[in-house]
Amino acid sequence: MLRSLIAAALLFSLFFPASAHAQGNADCEKLKGIFNTDVENANGVCKVEIIRENIKQPTFMDKKLKMEMMELAFHISFENVDRQTAVMGELALLQDEVNPVLDELRKGEIEISALHNHMLFEKPRIMYLHFQGIGDMEQQAKSIKAAIEKTTK
């Protein structure tokens, strides 16, 4: 019985080394530097959220709402998988920001999975762009940051 437990522990340590968890934390720290904002580590997923505080007087059906209520933010999540990084995100964009941001994401080989609205009768018009990718985390993060820089931030 003791031999079985020792063998199981040894196998576990081979497949799940302690450095794997530390690496996840280091990746979140690296993202913090790239995006220049706090990055949440949620069970191995690095989550970036940047609120669009620069959109002046947003309204929904002629009522002023908080940015968080209208989800006027950039949401990006990164997870290490099979020696690569998966990224998924959603960017709340003003209508005239859509094409420059799309172009920048495509340059970075980030796939666009959806472009749509969440609301009707909002002002200014907000479009939500969803994206995804698998690859090098740092390259993806820099491509996404370059896309965000095409907005009025």
Q: Is the per-residue pLDDT at 14 higher than 80?
A: no
What is the tens place of the pLDDT at every residue in 54-93?
888 899 999 998 888 888 999 999 999 989 999 999 999 9
- Distance in Å from the first CA to the final CA of the chain: 60
pLDDT of residue 145: 97
Predicted confidence band of residue 152 (pLDDT cuts 50, 70, 90)? confident
Residue 153, in any domain of the structure: no
What is the number of structural domains in the chain? 1
Residue 3, in any domain of the structure: no
Q: DSSP letter string over the chain? A: -HHHHHHHHHHHHHHS-HHHHHHHHHHHHHHHHHHTS-EEEETTEEEEEEE-TTS-S-EETTEE--TTTTT-EEEEEEEEETTEEEEEEEEEEEGGGHHHHHHHHHHTTPEEEEEE-S-SSEES-EEEEEEEEEE-HHHHHHHHHHHHTTS--
Residue 11, in any domain of the structure: no
pLDDT of residue 3: 52
8 Å CB contact between 66 and 52: no
Signed CA dihedral, 45, 99, 37, 123: sign only: negative
Specify the pTM: 0.80
Average pLDDT score over residue span 114-143: 96
Residue 8, in any domain of the structure: no
Determine the structural domain holding residue 138 and report its residue range: 19-148
Residue 57, in any domain of the structure: yes
CATH code where residue 50 lies: 3.30.1460
